Amino acid sequence: MQSLIKSLKVLEMVAEKQPVSVGELAKIMSMPKTTAQRILWTFHEAGWLRLIEGDMPRWTVSPRVLSVRPIELAGGGLAAAVQEPMAELRDLTQETVYVSVYDGNGAVVVIDRLESPHPVRAVSPIGDIAPIHSTANGMSILAFLPDIQLEKILNGELSAFNPATITDADKLRDELAQVRERGYSINRGYYRSGIFAIGAPIFDAAHQPVASICISMPDSRYREDKIAEWGTLTMKAAQAIGFQRNARG
């Protein structure tokens, strides 16, 4: 089981750092170069990775990864429901909009993005994986998870990414209580310094959080007096997505 987990982490790291050489990957993963090479070739033979030949051969993921996307992410369900609300939220706020889903293992994954028209903007790629406890999209989901899932995360490692990250479980509980009361989360640079965001959960028909939507901006455009307005707009977008998704069955 551990060897399988190690191999999957290599695949994830290639996706994050691509194009990446075997030497770079081995250093990042703190593993022998021979081990990294063996795992890379195994995925290559299975069709999941591509080798880019050159003076220093590099690896990338292959288009085959798209074949494992569930219908939610492949054009139906959630993917179809987010388009109009995302565009409206971006146009109303003029900030970058992200939709993320929970990976079930303490992180959220960006599945769609609309960029701000401002020349200076916060941008994370589609497929970006971020911690659930320190991002706006993550906290808006975390606040509404069933207690057993919530406590598992709170009792686990709450990694610090900068001095602003909330790493104390009790303080994070208080923050999440405010999220539930307001209906939206506020990320005041908890994950990436200088990047602020406001997020809201997207619920399924059983009122379980299946995804989240947020607006993200550099701290130079963040204004405390706009929080309520931005929060309301983000919640309305989340509600519209949830309604459309659930109506599609």
What is the C-alpha to C-alpha distance for residues 198 and 98, in angstroms, rounded to an integer?
10
Question: Which residues have a Cβ under 8 Å from the Cβ of 85 and sit 6 or more positions away?
Answer: 213, 236, 237, 238, 240, 241, 244
Strand, coil or helix: what is 66? helix
pLDDT in tens, 210-219: 899 999 999 9
What is the C-alpha to C-alpha distance for residues 31 and 166, in angstroms, rounded to an integer?
31
Other beta carbons within 10 angstroms of residue 108's beta carbon come to 28
What is the C-alpha to C-alpha distance for residues 174 and 172, in angstroms, rounded to an integer?
5
Is pLDDT of 6 > 90? no
Quote the radius of gyration of the chain (alpha carbons, Å): 19
**In the chain, where are the structural domains located?**
2-66, 71-247
Report if pTM > 0.85.
no
CATH numeric code, 71-247 = 3.30.450.40
pLDDT in tens, 184-204: 999 999 999 999 999 999 998
CATH numeric code, 2-66 = 1.10.10.10
Question: What band does 37 get if pLDDT is binned at 50, 70 and 90?
Answer: very high
